[in-house]
Amino acid sequence: MNLCVIPARGGSKRIPKKNIKPICGKPLISYAIQTAKESELFDRIVVSTDDLEIATISKEWGAEVLERPKELADDFTPSIDVFEDVIQKLNRNGYFKFACMIYPTALFLKPTFLKEGLKRLKESDSSFSFSATTYDFPIWRGFEIVEGKGKMIFPEFMETRSQDLKDVYHDAAQFYWKKLSSKEKFRFDGNIPILLPRYLVQDIDTPQDLIQAELKFKILKEMERL
């Protein structure tokens, strides 16, 4: 039995009401709920929120709602702590074997990636699987600015061809599967990355990100119709 948790706080500062901003006529969180439902992997889909409007919209799109404690609704609480809070409350009898946290901003998440994440986790001795993608530029060529001037962070790679630099990956912040027999807290080391193409990954942290996400979403939907 599988549990889906969507953490959706109401107090976003950089984009007020971010989780329910309209994208192509539908609230952002609705896409995460729909993807979870379309995957047919979950016995319960639960939105953890401290916000009445988010709760109402989440119910309208077919999710259950669990009120988030005030101590887990500030600007500093990691989403993984909210995930663990819901698991503890809803799995006291050990009914669920796996749980998945899906971010409310996972606009481009596909059911196939959720299915792959669960399948690979079941086949492994790891505690988690998670969405990941490659950086779009070699981090080995990165530099910082010191007193107004560039300073290479990895100067030993200055002359290395980009094709000879190894790929580096980062969290795509779309989903995390957890094996509930494990008591471990999430970390990247020793767990299973599910690789997503970069064009299906989009942070939504600023108003500019939101505009870019909607433009990308429209283009992809148009391509699907061709």
CATH value at residue 211: 3.90.550.10
In a domain, 179, yes or no: yes
**Two structure tokens written together for 180:** 């509930």
- The pLDDT of residue 224 is above 90: no
Is 142 a domain residue?
no
26 within a domain of the structure (yes/no): yes
pLDDT digit string (tens) for 104-137? 999 999 999 999 999 999 999 999 999 999 999 9
Q: What percent of the chain has pLDDT over 90?
A: 92
What sections of 66-184 are H helices per DSSP?
79-90, 111-122
How many separate domains does the chain show?
1
210, part of any domain: yes
- Indicate the average pLDDT of the chain: 95
**What pLDDT does residue 12 have?**
82
The predicted structure's pLDDT at residue 226? 63
144 within domain boundaries: no
Residue 194 has a CB neighbour count (10 Å cut-off) of 24
**Domain membership flag for residue 24:** yes
Helix axis angle, 52-60 to 28-39, nearest 10°? 40
Q: Is residue 105 part of a domain?
A: yes
8 A C-beta contact, residue 118 and residue 194:
no
Show the domain range for 25. 2-133+169-225
**Has residue 157 been placed in a domain?**
no
- The identity of residue 87, as a single letter, is I
Q: What is the pTM of this model?
A: 0.94
SS3 at position 125:
coil
38-80 pLDDT tens trace: 999 999 999 999 999 999 999 999 999 999 999 998 888 999 9
pLDDT in tens, 123-180: 999 999 999 999 999 999 999 999 999 999 999 999 999 999 999 999 999 999 999 9
